[in-house]
Amino acid sequence: MHGGGVDTDKHNGADSASLREKVKLRRGEKWRILKNIITVSVAFMVQFTAFQGTANLQSSINAKEGLGTVSLSAIYAALVVSCIFLPTLVIRKLTVKWTLCVSMLCYAPYIASQFYPKFYTLIPAGILLGLGAAPMWASKATYLTQLGQVYAKLTDQSVEAIIVRFFGFFFLAWQTAELWGNLISSLVLSSGAHGAAATVDGSDNGTSGHSGPNLDSCGANFCVVETSDNANLQRPPDSEIFEISAIYLYGERRRGSISATEISGMQLLSATFKQLKKANQQLLILITVFIGMEQAFIGADFTQAYVSCALGIHQIGYVMICFGVVNAICSIIFGSAMKYIGRVVIIILGAIVHGGCIIYLLYWRPHPDHQIVFFILSGLWGIGDAVWQTQINGLYGALFRRNKEAAFSNYRLWESVGFVVAYAYSTNLCARMKLYLLFGVLVCGMVGYTIVEIRQLKKEKRLKELEEIPKQQQTDADRKAIEDDDEKDELEEDIVVTHL
């Protein structure tokens, strides 16, 4: 792979690491790294303040003919296609920095389309957003992983712990977008005709304007095709939607891993498929699909079947604020705690929390008199999501550091598949069946994850034994096993730390 007339005695002395240019860094560089982490995190927070607030309302404000949900499906279907072909190639051509800049511009047309929500406006805008999202997320994850590797080298700390900590800080900032975006939408909707109507109606009987039959169709019994008589699910006035959309709308130069810069365009296009040949990647598919499904459920099904149905559309933002705030706090906690209690304990916690919430939602009958329960469930869901976002992202970064771009393309690919599947059956299945499917995928995903951890323990033990063998006594098979280790990356080998 290192072409160009170089004599290749890879196993003796003149290995590839010695042929590449070394990068000298002072220990003081760690402060610039932290500044870059903050910059990227704040940029995503501003971007997703607009997008998350808009997306959380789609299943409710654009419920007619399933337009909102279909537009979300278009986003993630395009994201799946984009994940397969674009991220590694685009990062190679544009660099991480410019990939982030260009990709972020793809979000504006979707938000602008809320002024005129039709199938021929929202769907194309959603497709554009999806195509830009995959390179954006892959470049972000690649960048955080690279910075984590450099920072760990500068500070003599565990690479895996630093990567997870950086992802934790990023998701702390990113999840606060739920706070700002939903606060804007809730304040506008609550002060408008929709919120006022709900208050007036509810003052007569203390039930927020809900009759028994309407409440009986909420929660796990909720089916989209049977809710036309529920006043709480009617679209707010266009003036309020326009106001929200207007607020939302106006509201380092490395090219990726060394391995990615040394292969051809066709190889870059197929990098995502090649990554799928790895056993650990295959075993992580279902838990990654679950991450997309659980986010789709809280953002579309929970908001519509539970919050909108029982409380009204104007309450969605407030409940989702709780989700975002708890998620943000837990992201930074879990990102730091991993160093002390390990990844396995945190991931088991996430599985228990989400599994418990799913079971409770199957039997709970939502009622406006029990508003606190909506917020508790939203917060608990945020705890579980924080586990997946920090730990599974960190796991990908730790397992596949040699092929970061392709690995994170796969992460977004399978997460997006989860979104697509969830949105595809959103208007056809009742909430109860969605919960059953969600629980099944969680269980199967945890089985795959457990096998990955077992494989990793065995691999680490074997590599440690091999590295203790003197080089002159190592067989070709031993050297190949060490060289093929995905956890080793040229970036770490190329950094020389100086004390100047």
Residue 22 pLDDT greater than 70, yes or no: no
**Which tokens in the block code for residue 323?**
């989700």
Which of 295, 477, 289, 280 is closest to 398 using CA atoms? 280
- 40-44, 148-152, 484-488 — which is least confidently predicted? 484-488
Higher pLDDT, 17 or 183: 183
- 7-11, 77-81, 235-239, 329-333 — which is least confidently predicted? 7-11
In this predicted structure, what is the pLDDT of residue 281? Answer: 92
Q: Per mean pLDDT, which of 27-41, 349-363, 483-497 is the most reliable?
A: 349-363
SS (H, E, C) the chain: CCCCCCCCCCCCCCCHHHHCCCEEEECCHHHHHHHHHHHHHHHHHHHHHHHHHHHHHHHHHCCHHHHHHHHHHHHHHHHHHHHHHCHHHHHHHHHHHHHHHHHHHHHHHHHHHHHCCCHHHHHHHHHHHHHHHHHHHHHHHHHHHHHHHHHHHHHCCCHHHHHHHHHHHHHHHHHHHHHHHHHHHHHHHHHCHHHHHHHHHHHHHCCCCCCHHHHHCCHHHCCHHHCCCCHHHCCCCHHHHHHHHHHHHHCCCCCCCHHHHCCCHHHHHCHHHHHCCCHHHHHCHHHHHHHHHHHHHHHHHHHHHHHHHHCCHHHHHHHHHHHHHHHHHHHHHHHHHHHHHCHHHHHHHHHHHHHHHHHHHHHCCCCHHHHHHHHHHHHHHHHHHHHHHHHHHHHHHHHCHHHHHHHHHHHHHHHHHHHHHHHHCCCCCCHHHHHHHHHHHHHHHHHHHHHHHHHHHHHHHHHHHHHCCCHHHCCHHHHHHHHCCCCCCHHHHHEEEECC
pLDDT, tens digit (0-9, with 9 covering 90-100), for 112-142: 888 888 888 889 999 999 999 888 888 888 8
In this predicted structure, what is the pLDDT of residue 488? Answer: 57
CA dihedral (72, 77, 81, 83) positive or negative:
positive
Which of 353, 318, 319 is closest to 334 using CA atoms? 353
Q: Are 266 and 88 in contact (CB under 8 A)?
A: no
Which of 328, 375, 363, 327 is closest to 436 using CA atoms? 363
Residue 98 pLDDT greater than 60, yes or no: yes
Residue type, 498: T
What number is the average pLDDT over the span 481-500?
56
Residue 48 pLDDT greater than 60, yes or no: yes
- 189-203, 215-229, 276-290, 431-445 — which is least confidently predicted? 189-203
In this predicted structure, what is the pLDDT of residue 209? Answer: 42
On the CB side of 390, CA atoms within 13 Å amount to: 40
Contacts for 387 with CB less than 8 Å, ≥ 6 apart: 330, 334, 346, 347, 349, 350, 353
CA dihedral (408, 414, 419, 423) positive or negative:
positive
Q: Are 278 and 272 in contact (CB under 8 A)?
A: no
Which of 401, 455, 403 is closest to 283 using CA atoms? 455
pLDDT, tens digit (0-9, with 9 covering 90-100), for 155-206: 888 887 888 888 888 888 877 877 777 777 667 666 655 454 444 344 444 4
- Quote the CA–CA distance of 36 and 33 in Å, as a whole number: 5
- Quote the CA–CA distance of 440 and 251 in Å, as a whole number: 40
pLDDT, tens digit (0-9, with 9 covering 90-100), for 256-290: 444 444 444 455 456 777 888 889 999 999 999 99
What number is the average pLDDT over the span 393-401?
84
Residue 88 pLDDT greater than 70, yes or no: yes
Residue 452 pLDDT greater than 90, yes or no: yes
Residue 252 pLDDT greater than 50, yes or no: no
Using alpha carbons only, what angle is made at residue 7 by residues 2 and 9, rounded to the nearest 5 degrees? Answer: 90
In this predicted structure, what is the pLDDT of residue 497? Answer: 61
Higher pLDDT, 225 or 333: 333
In this predicted structure, what is the pLDDT of residue 435? Answer: 95
Confidence of residue 153 (pLDDT cuts 50, 70, 90): confident
Residue 10 pLDDT greater than 60, yes or no: no
Which of 8, 5, 17 is closest to 258 using CA atoms? 17
Q: Are 48 and 175 in contact (CB under 8 A)?
A: no
In this predicted structure, what is the pLDDT of residue 443? Answer: 97
Q: Are 272 and 404 in contact (CB under 8 A)?
A: no
Q: How far is CA 456 from CA 402, 444, 452, 460, 463, in A?
A: 16, 19, 6, 6, 10
pLDDT, tens digit (0-9, with 9 covering 90-100), for 369-394: 889 999 999 999 999 999 998 899 88
Residue 210 pLDDT greater than 50, yes or no: no
- Quote the CA–CA distance of 137 and 52 in Å, as a whole number: 15
- Quote the CA–CA distance of 305 and 215 in Å, as a whole number: 10
Q: Per mean pLDDT, which of 125-129, 272-276, 424-428, 474-478 is the most reliable?
A: 125-129
In this predicted structure, what is the pLDDT of residue 401? Answer: 74
Contacts for 137 with CB less than 8 Å, ≥ 6 apart: 87, 408, 412
Taken in order of first residue, the domains within the chain and their CATH numbers are: 27-196+213-251+267-463 (1.20.1250.20)
User: Helix 29-61 vs helix 87-104: angle between axes, to the nearest 10 degrees?
Assistant: 80
Residue 12 pLDDT greater than 60, yes or no: no
**In b/e form, how buried is each residue of 134-151, taking b as 16+ CB within 10 angstroms?**
bbbbbbbbbbbbbbbbbb
